[in-house]
Amino acid sequence: MKSLLKRTMSVFLIVSICLLTGYQSEIHADTPIVQIENKKLETVIRNALNKPQGAITAGDMAKLQNLSSNINHITSLKGLEHAVNLKELYLVNSKINDLSPLSELHQLNSIYLADNRITDLSPLSGLKKIETLILERNLITDISPLQSMTSLIDLDLSTNLISDIQALRQVKNLERLLLGDNFIKDISSLAQLSKLTYLNAQGNLITDLLPVKPLNALWSLDVSNNKINDLTPVKHLKLIGISITNTDITDLTPIADSDTLTSIYVNESTLNPSSKAFLQQFKTDQHFVSGDRTYSAPKIFIDNQVQKFPVRPLQYNGRIMVPLRGLLEWIGADFSWNGTKRQITLKHEGSEIILTIDSNQIIVNGKKQTIDAKPYISDGYTLVPIRFIVETFGFHINWDDKRKWVMLTTKA
């Protein structure tokens, strides 16, 4: 009897162990551990899950609906592909380049990835529910993947390297569009965007506003820092605000009869007498007038062709600083680097310039000089004062003060 009882208990124990082991294996199979490649991103995810310790599983990731952080130095999104129910992603001011982990997150509605290093938008092309996409201050040149994202309502592509916006013809639900500080000349594709209410296209290469004419829903327009000279196309729009600072506009007659306009940004000194008189009356009627608008990043033209540098030219101590390597390719100068002294030596047709990083002391053809803008290194790029170098080497330089454009020409 005891032997039978012992055998029965042994069988029961074995069955129990098998069942328990099988159950644990099933749990493990259903909720695999997720590896988050970037530790900064892992911290953000743990905070969102309220799970400071322990393995992060696919089940945990499926609980995420919103993920938000201003933490710097997130370099990879790998692991985020398991957040299959994610609706909003906010990871700005970081170093994200690859968006492929987002390609299957079909519940995404809003993406905020400003101030990153994004170049390729193709992983987003299949995300049909995206309504808000904020990608300002990245390195984007090609926006063709956006043409399939027809649910987009709010799109910010400011401060990128974009010149072609034909893809936007298909994105007809857009209501808010920011394209400022790019390299766009042709805006004909915008004529199809009948729902557009807000357009910021400042700091581009636009010369003609005719494509804006049919945009009857538009109430805010910013085309500052462009080469436009005629407001006739916007005459019948019900604009509330318009910004045309640092343009070639001299005549405000096309907007003088507007009964909706309440604010104008314009350089008064460039206007004709009748437009100045209109502006004074506009102010008297308690409307807002200002000529103060932030300049976009300087643009560099070489032999009338605008240049796209790997990092943006900028103003520093009143000087335009540009990436050295891009400038040297145009000049054709020889270049050498002394890492011990942190010195750059440039040679071209018998002239020599020696620059020291973070120093305003330079040597030109053996003679010491002082410059008011020190060369410096940012994100691995050496930035130098453009005017000093090109003039020292005998090239021609002109300055468009309105738009902060630098015009370089080869020597005759």
Asked if residue 208 and residue 340 are part of one domain, the reply reads no
Residues 6+ apart with CB under 8 A from 246: 224, 225, 267, 293, 295, 402, 403
Q: Do residues 74 and 40 touch, judged by C-beta distance below 8 A?
A: yes
Domain identity same for 238 and 311: no
For residues 235 and 130, state if they share a domain. Answer: yes
* pLDDT by residue, tens only, the chain of 412 residues: 445 445 544 544 444 444 444 433 333 445 799 999 999 999 999 999 999 999 999 999 999 999 999 877 899 999 999 999 999 999 999 999 999 999 999 999 999 999 999 999 999 999 999 999 999 999 999 999 999 999 999 999 999 999 999 999 999 999 999 999 999 999 999 999 999 999 999 999 999 999 999 999 999 999 999 999 999 999 999 999 999 999 999 999 999 999 999 999 999 999 999 999 999 999 998 889 888 665 668 899 888 889 888 788 888 877 889 998 888 888 888 989 999 999 999 999 999 999 999 999 999 999 999 998 899 998 888 999 998 898 888 888 888 888 888 898 876 5
Cβ atoms within 10 Å of 5's Cβ, excluding its own: 9
Tally the C-alpha atoms within 13 A of residue 155's C-alpha that lie toward its C-beta: 24
Boundary (domain end) residue, out of 268, 290, 312: 290
Burial class (CB in 10 A: 0-12, 13-18, 19+), 18: exposed
CA-CA distance, 56 to 76, in Å (whole number)?
17
Residue 375 and residue 303 share a domain: yes
Residues 214 and 274 in one domain: yes
- The answer on 319 and 274 residing in a single domain is no
Within-domain flag for 223: yes
- The verdict on 108 and 212 lying in the same domain is yes
DSSP H/E element including 346: strand 343-348
Termini Cα distance of the chain: 114
> Please, which residues have CB within 8 angstroms of residue 181's CB and are 6 or more apart in sequence?
158, 159, 160, 202, 203, 204, 296, 297
CA distance 345 to 227: 38
Residues 304 and 286 in one domain: no
- Please check whether residue 254 lies inside any domain of the structure: yes
Closest CA to 188 of 161, 170, 165: 165
Residues 245 and 330 in one domain: no
Give a yes or no: residue 51 inside a domain. yes
Task: Please state the domain count of the chain.
Answer: 2
Does 312 map to a domain? yes
Q: Answer for the pair 112, 134: CB distance below 8 angstroms, yes or no.
A: yes
Identify the H or E element spanning 256. helix 253-256
Q: Is residue 5 part of a domain?
A: no
CATH number, domain with residue 237: 3.80.10.10
In a domain, 29, yes or no: no
pLDDT of res. 5: 43
Please tell me whether residues 284 and 310 are part of one structural domain: no
Question: For position 388, which CATH number holds?
Answer: 3.30.457.10
What's the pLDDT at 10? Answer: 52
Q: What is the pLDDT of residue 14?
A: 47
pTM of the model: 0.86
Co-location of 256 and 198 in the same domain: yes
**Domain of residue 339, residue span:** 299-409
Q: Is residue 384 part of a domain?
A: yes
Q: Answer yes or no: is 216 within a domain.
A: yes
Q: Return d(Cα 393, Cα 350) in angstroms, integer.
A: 9
Which of 290, 315, 333 lies at the terminal end of a domain, its last residue?
A: 290
Question: How far apart are the C-alpha atoms of 228 and 222, rounded to whole Å?
Answer: 12
- Rounded to the nearest 10°, the torsion over CA 272, 274, 280, 286 is -120
Query: Are 282 and 313 in the same domain?
Result: no
Residue 98 and residue 77 in contact, taking contact as beta carbons nearer than 8 Å: yes
Of 232, 257, 290, the residue that ends a domain is 290
d(CA 244, CA 200): 11
